[in-house]
């Protein structure tokens, strides 16, 4: 049985990308267009997020901003392809390649919009989960540098960023990161696990493997099927381990100063507003992939924002006291809950951006990074 038969009952036409559209109001010509560009965690299969993104789509229809058109788009990381007609890469891709891959995907969606609606403005909000939050920050930095250097860039406004359980600094110091940094560098480890995975998936039928996955993980059907497809893909297991090893090596301290200054997503008048979701340490909730000191830095940054030049900062640290798992996308209840929160933050980002633009027009000049 092929991967196609495994997912055909409840998957979109393209299993390596998800795209949704939702409009509010009836005047499509006068509507403001928004692209919600989603970046997943590792393993980077976008289909884990199908319930989350489809729920977000339905909730955006309730947005108070009208007329507006919302496009939600997310794409799997390189090396995680499960569509039978997609040629996967021959060697696993590292974190830098994944950043470039998502930058190309983002600009591809922007160019597609420009081709379909020439002259119509597009506002972009980035949403990243886990290591996707690190990719998100890198995309912001690259876009910012291109604008500041007057390089040719696609015409869009980057107005917001949402980081869900972000692994953006010292991931190797987290509880699970400490284990990963010990075993992932072992010579031959990644290759050996890949060989074992291929052997197991060749012995078991897809239906049997899917049952084993469900029993072992207690995942709902969509997540179990995605995991089964991931295990049977030509590069998936090796790619996930290679990327995790790269995360341990690369995700160090480069964003620490940003955290301490409370400017992780920029100051008002620059590029973006945003929300950072972390666990509530006061209730004993610990994110096993986010180091405690990273969490504490984010909380301290939020406190500093309330004391120093509060009017300039628009980043908000959102404390999760519900006990939502880091891998929220593998349960339907958590997917629905996070979708509801993200919808509210999207509304807030749009509102704050509108206020910023009205203030800047009053003083006669646009914010830094916004087109004149």
The pLDDT score that the predictor gives to residue 71 is 95
Structural domain includes residue 64: yes
Structural domain includes residue 192: no
Structural domain includes residue 247: no
Look at residue 279 and tell me whether its pLDDT is greater than 70.
no
The pLDDT score that the predictor gives to residue 12 is 39
What is the Cα–Cα distance from 198 to 253, expressed in whole angstroms? Answer: 36
Structural domain includes residue 223: no
Please report which confidence band the pLDDT of residue 182 belongs to, taking 50, 70 and 90 as the band edges: confident
Structural domain includes residue 138: yes
Q: What is the mean pLDDT of residues 225-239?
A: 87
The pLDDT score that the predictor gives to residue 101 is 95
Structural domain includes residue 171: yes
Please report which confidence band the pLDDT of residue 348 belongs to, taking 50, 70 and 90 as the band edges: confident
CATH number at residue 136: 3.40.50.1820
The pLDDT score that the predictor gives to residue 86 is 59
Q: Which residue has the higher pLDDT, 318 or 285?
A: 318
Q: Which residue has the higher pLDDT, 197 or 60?
A: 60
Look at residue 185 and tell me whether its pLDDT is greater than 60.
yes
The pTM (predicted TM-score) of the whole model is 0.84
Look at residue 338 and tell me whether its pLDDT is greater than 80.
yes
Structural domain includes residue 297: yes
Look at residue 257 and tell me whether its pLDDT is greater than 60.
no
The pLDDT score that the predictor gives to residue 42 is 92
Cβ-defined contacts of 362-366 (< 8 Å, 24+): none
Look at residue 158 and tell me whether its pLDDT is greater than 90.
no
pLDDT above 90: percentage of residues in the chain: 25
Q: How many domains does the chain have?
A: 1
Q: The sheet that has 68-75: what strands, in order across it?
A: 17-24, 68-75, 32-39, 122-129, 157-164, 273-279, 315-320
Domain range spanning residue 309? 3-179+252-362
Structural domain includes residue 143: yes
Q: Report the chain's mean pLDDT, rounded to a whole number.
A: 77
């Amino acid at each position: 049985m092929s991967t196609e038969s495994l997912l055909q009952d409840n998957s979109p036409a393209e299993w390596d990308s998800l795209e949704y559209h939702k409009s509010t109001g009836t005047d499509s010509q006068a509507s403001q267009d928004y692209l919600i560009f989603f970046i997943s965690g590792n393993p980077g299969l976008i289909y884990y997020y199908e319930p989350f993104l489809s729920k977000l789509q339905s909730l955006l229809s309730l947005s108070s901003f009208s007329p507006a058109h919302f496009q939600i788009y997310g794409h799997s990381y390189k090396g995680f392809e499960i569509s039978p007609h997609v040629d996967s890469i021959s060697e696993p891709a590292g974190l830098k390649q994944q950043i470039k891959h998502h930058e190309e995907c983002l600009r591809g969606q922007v160019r597609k919009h420009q081709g379909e609606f020439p002259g119509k403005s597009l506002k972009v909000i980035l949403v990243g989960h886990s290591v996707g939050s690190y990719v998100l920050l890198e995309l912001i930095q690259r876009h910012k540098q291109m604008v500041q250097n007057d390089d040719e860039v696609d015409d869009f406004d980057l107005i917001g960023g949402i980081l869900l359980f972000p692994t953006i600094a010292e991931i190797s110091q987290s509880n699970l990161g400490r284990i990963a940094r010990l075993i992932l560098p072992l010579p031959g480890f990644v290759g050996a696990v890949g060989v074992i995975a291929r052997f197991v998936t060749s012995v078991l039928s897809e239906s049997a493997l899917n049952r084993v996955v469900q029993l072992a993980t207690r995942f709902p059907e969509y997540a179990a099927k995605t995991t089964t497809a991931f295990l049977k893909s030509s590069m998936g297991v090796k790619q996930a381990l290679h990327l995790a090893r790269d995360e341990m090596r690369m995700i160090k301290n480069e964003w620490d100063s940003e955290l301490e200054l409370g400017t992780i997503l920029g100051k008002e008048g620059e590029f973006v507003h945003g929300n950072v979701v972390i666990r509530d340490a006061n209730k004993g909730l610990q994110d096993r992939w986010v180091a405690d000191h990273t969490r504490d830095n984010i909380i301290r940054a939020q406190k500093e924002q309330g004391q120093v030049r509060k009017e300039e900062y628009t980043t908000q640290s959102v404390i999760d006291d519900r006990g939502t798992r880091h891998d929220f996308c593998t349960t339907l209840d958590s997917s629905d809950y996070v979708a509801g929160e993200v919808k509210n933050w999207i509304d807030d980002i749009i509102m704050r951006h509108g206020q910023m633009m009205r203030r800047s027009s009053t003083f006669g000049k646009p914010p830094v990074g916004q087109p004149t």
